[in-house]
Structures are given as C-alpha cells and as structure tokens.
C-alpha cells in the first residue's frame, strides 16, 4: 500500500505552487520520464494513499506529518527577520526536531523520517497504526509533541511524557531569549527560568503568578513552531524528497544523520558544491 502508485502527485511549472495535480504514476520510471519531459520547478506528493489517486478517491490512510517551516519559527538564535532563513536558524531548528522525535518515540512510533524541506523540516511518520487517524486525533498528537497545551497546574501532573516534552520546550525558550536578549516582555523570564530549572518538580511552582504567565507564553510560542494545518490535513500535498525547493535553491531530502546534517552544504545541488 505504501507504493507510489497510491499517491497523488502535483507539479509546479511557474514557481507559484502545484497547479498540475491529480497525477498518478505506476512506478518510479514513469515518474522519472514525466519529470524529464516537463522539467517542473517543484514536485509534490500527497501525504495520503488512495485507491484512485487521480480522483483523490478511495482514501486508504495518510502519513502523520509535522511541518517546521523555519521562516515562521517564532524565537531564533540568529538575527533573521520573520520570513527569512539563514544557516544559523536552519541548524537551530534541529533542536525542536529532536524534541518531536523523542516525543514520537515515547508514543511507541518507529517508522519516522526526517526530511529537510529546503526551508525547514518535515517529520513524516508511516507506522501502520497512525495511517487511519482522524484529523482531531492528529491535532492531539501535535499538542503532545511540541508542548501546545499548558501543563495542568491545579492537579497532580499526570503523564510524565508530556511534562518532559514541555520542560524541554521551556529550555529551548530560555536558550533563545538568552541568545538574542531582545524579546521585549519575555526578557523578565530569563533569570526566573534559570532559578526554576534547578527545581525538579514544576508542579511546586504552581501558585506563582510569573510561572503561570511563563507557561502561557511558552505555549503561545510552541503553537507557532509547527504548521498545524499540515498535520490535520489528510489530503495535503507536500514537497517530494529529492526535488528542489525552487524558492531557496536547496534540495528537499531525507536526513539520515540529523546531528551531522548541514543544511546549506548537504542540501545544495551538486553542481554548486
């Protein structure tokens, strides 16, 4: 079922998005022939598998996808403006990818692939048990993997896994504040977070006003890290690994060793190296 024959393909010939959709290929040779004939700017394939991809009919399931577009990442350790990316933030985003990967592994998922999208990262999960999840279930997983919901401060904190994810995102938040020291109202958290990091049980801080404000601000930032529309959309087209991101000129490709991966060097087309 995971064969490319069950995927919908889309092509962009103008740089404005995939205008030619609903394409189906029986095998990789046919896809290659099409690409050589049409020379598209960019190539996309569906996260969904269909019996009839050319009509988007007979839905068989969809990959679970998380999209981290670095140009929209809220807090960064570089001086990029929103909308831009540089070598520093492309590398910096990997810290969030590690958090997501660890959270997914805590859920028992194994068939997880990290794809450099050209301007960020796609985390694509193809374990059998997630393929038929509904949108609302995917939205719940998204909250879990990146800390999009305040930890419950009124009750005993249940479920160690989410607590751990959340604590790691607080650390990322602090790291970014510390680097740039220009985040306006967030600045007041710097010394406070350093103090609470020495305390193991965040629950004991629940009566403190600044702690509640911090939690709410971390949640707000975390909600912007991933594009939730991509995760909940069961019929999304996303960039095909091995194709070129035409806006930045880097190759969308699977990352086998995230630690060693250098986006600017490793995803540059060979002719430019």
Residue ranges in contact with Zn ion by CB under 5 A? 78, 80, 86, 88-89
- DSSP strand E in the chain: where? 9-12, 20-23, 42-46, 48-52, 57-62, 64-69, 112-116, 120-125, 237-239, 244-245, 250-251, 253-254
Which member of 12, 67, 92, 233 is catalytic?
A: 67
Residue whose CB is less far from Zn ion, 12 or 69: 69
Beta bridge partners of 12: 42
Q: How far is the CB of 221 from Zn ion (least distance, A)?
A: 16
Residue whose CB is less far from Zn ion, 63 or 92: 92
Q: How far is the CB of 261 from Zn ion (least distance, A)?
A: 16
Q: How far is the CB of 214 from Zn ion (least distance, A)?
A: 25
Length of the chain: 273
Could you give the CA distance from residue 273 to residue 269 in angstroms, rounded to a whole number? Answer: 7
Residue whose CB is less far from Zn ion, 91 or 203: 91
Residue whose CB is less far from Zn ion, 80 or 107: 80
Which member of 69, 84, 217, 266 is catalytic?
A: 69
Could you give the CA distance from residue 244 to residue 250 in angstroms, rounded to a whole number? Answer: 6
Active-site residue 67, yes or no?
Answer: yes
Quickly count: other Cβ atoms within 10 Å of residue 238's Cβ: 21
Which member of 95, 152, 227, 266 is catalytic?
A: 227
Q: How far is the CB of 79 from Zn ion (least distance, A)?
A: 7
């Amino acid at each position: 079922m995971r064969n490319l024959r069950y995927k919908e393909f889309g092509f962009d010939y103008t740089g404005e998005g995939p205008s030619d959709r609903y394409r189906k290929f029986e095998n990789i040779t046919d896809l290659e022939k099409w690409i050589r004939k049409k020379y598209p700017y960019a190539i996309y394939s569906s996260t969904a598998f269909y019996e009839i991809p050319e009509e988007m009919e007979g839905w068989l399931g969809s990959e679970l996808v998380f999209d981290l577009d670095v140009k929209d990442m809220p807090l960064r350790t570089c001086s990029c403006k929103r909308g831009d990316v540089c070598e520093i933030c492309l590398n910096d985003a990997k810290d969030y990818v590690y958090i997501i990967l660890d959270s997914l592994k805590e859920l028992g998922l194994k068939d997880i692939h990290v794809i450099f999208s050209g301007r960020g990262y796609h985390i694509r999960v193809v374990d059998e048990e997630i393929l038929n999840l509904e949108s609302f279930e995917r939205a719940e997983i998204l909250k879990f993997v990146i800390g999009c919901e305040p930890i419950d401060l009124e009750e005993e904190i249940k479920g160690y896994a989410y607590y751990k994810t959340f604590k790691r995102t607080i650390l990322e938040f602090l790291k970014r504040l510390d680097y740039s020291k220009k985040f306006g109202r967030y600045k007041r958290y710097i010394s406070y977070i350093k103090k609470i990091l020495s305390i193991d049980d965040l629950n004991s801080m629940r009566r403190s006003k600044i702690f509640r404000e911090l939690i709410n601000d971390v949640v707000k930032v975390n909600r912007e890290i991933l594009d939730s529309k991509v995760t909940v959309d069961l019929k999304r087209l996303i960039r095909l690994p091995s194709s070129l991101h035409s806006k930045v000129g880097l190759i969308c490709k699977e990352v086998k060793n995230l630690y060693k991966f250098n986006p600017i060097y490793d995803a540059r087309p060979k002719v430019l190296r």
